[in-house]
Amino acid sequence: MHQKCPMMNARRLYRNSIVMTSPQALVLASHSDSRRALLDKLQLAYTSLAPGIDETSLPEEAPESLVRRLSEAKARKIAERMPEAIVIGSDQVACYEGRALGKPGNPESALQQLRTFSGKQVNFLSGLCVMNPSRGTCHLAVETCLVEFRALSDDQIRAYLQIDRPFQCAGAFKSEGLGISLVRSIRCDDPNVLVGLPLIRLIDFLAREGVTVLG
């Protein structure tokens, strides 16, 4: 599902001289290693900046509304600082029984999340916002991925947490790491959704702003 949203010091720079990009600067509103690794796949020059926003959910806020709002808020925060750039914002939550579960932050919360998911199906929602203030355009989407977890013992969960340490990952697991051993199946149109940046939708949004991956 996608829609348009209303408009109103770089630490890391990635460059590739082979692939053509837009003359506008491209900025990822995140310092997440996972998101940067995903965006690196597109071989586009970009800057990564942390937006530093409050990610607390609003009272009675639905998970889909939460990731959409935070994705836009992250992009908008950076766009205010770099109004000539094209900014990418993204956010992710795990959705279980209608509740949004974000980053556990510590081993005990991570254990509790994975204990809850054991033998269950969990939806992972990734929001995406591409904002171009110079053109007054903004594109929003929320992509979903359904994950079925294996039945997990506490010993298995603890062993996993010691290795991957996924305390800053929604749902407390990294599908790109040993976390793949925790799941029975993954169903989604874009496997990157589960890692936290929907690349297929991102390519579409960037193309609308004149940024092409393959020239």
pLDDT per position in the chain (215 positions), as tens? Answer: 556 665 543 333 333 333 334 578 999 999 889 999 999 999 999 999 999 988 888 999 999 999 999 999 999 999 999 999 999 999 999 999 989 988 999 999 999 999 999 999 999 999 999 999 999 999 999 999 999 999 999 999 999 999 999 999 988 998 988 999 999 999 999 999 999 999 999 999 999 999 999 87
Q: Containing domain of residue 45, as a range?
A: 2-208
Evaluate whether residue 15 is within a structural domain.
yes
54 is catalytic: no
| Active-site option among 91, 154, 164, 190 | 91
Evaluate whether residue 184 is within a structural domain.
yes
The pLDDT of residue 9: 32
pTM: 0.86
Which residue's structure tokens are 């990952």?
169
Evaluate whether residue 41 is within a structural domain.
yes
Tell me which DSSP letter residue 18 carries: S
**CA Rg value for the chain:** 17
Evaluate whether residue 215 is within a structural domain.
no
* Six-digit token string for 103: 């980053």
Q: % helix / strand / coil in the chain, to the nearest 5?
A: 35, 25, 40
Rounded distance between C-alpha atoms, residue 186 and residue 191, angstroms? 8
Evaluate whether residue 123 is within a structural domain.
yes
Evaluate whether residue 84 is within a structural domain.
yes
Rounded distance between C-alpha atoms, residue 57 and residue 70, angstroms? 9
Could you tell me the CA-to-CA distances from 47 to 30, 59, 85, 167, 180 in Å, in that order? 10, 34, 10, 25, 29
Evaluate whether residue 213 is within a structural domain.
no
The pLDDT of residue 102: 87
Rounded distance between C-alpha atoms, residue 142 and residue 2, angstroms? 7
The number of distinct structural domains making up the chain is: 1
Which residue's structure tokens are 């990418």?
88
Write the CATH number for 198.
3.90.950.10
Positions of E strands within the chain = 2-4, 12-14, 26-28, 46-48, 86-96, 99-101, 121-132, 137-149, 183-187
Evaluate whether residue 56 is within a structural domain.
yes
Which residue's structure tokens are 């959705």?
95
Give the closest residue to 142 by CA, choosing from 172, 100, 180. 100
